[in-house]
Amino acid sequence: MKLNESPYARFEWDGKNKAGDIVANGIYYFVVTDADGNVARGKIAVLK
């Protein structure tokens, strides 16, 4: 999975897993770390 930073300091995810497949409906947990070592955690709901 790859997150792309947008010009608005938000991140976009294409809804695909590492294999390139669209993920199933559900709650997904994420951890984002920046170059300074700051960590943010959260949840994303995927509904189709």
If residue 33 lies in a helix (H) or strand (E), which one and from where to where?
strand 26-33
Q: What is the pLDDT of residue 20?
A: 93
State the Cα torsion 1-15-17-10 to the nearest 10°.
Answer: 20
Tell me, what DSSP letter sits at residue 1?
Answer: -
Among 6, 8, 7, 9, smallest CA distance to 40 is for 9
Query: What range does the domain containing 18 cover?
Result: 4-46
Q: What is the pLDDT of residue 39?
A: 87
Q: What is the pLDDT of residue 7?
A: 63
The structural domain count of the chain equals: 1
Q: What are 3's two structure tokens?
A: 């997150």
Q: What is the pLDDT of residue 23?
A: 95
pLDDT tens string 1-48: 566 666 666 777 889 999 999 999 999 998 888 778 888 899 999 998
Q: What's the pTM?
A: 0.64
Q: What is the pLDDT of residue 48?
A: 86
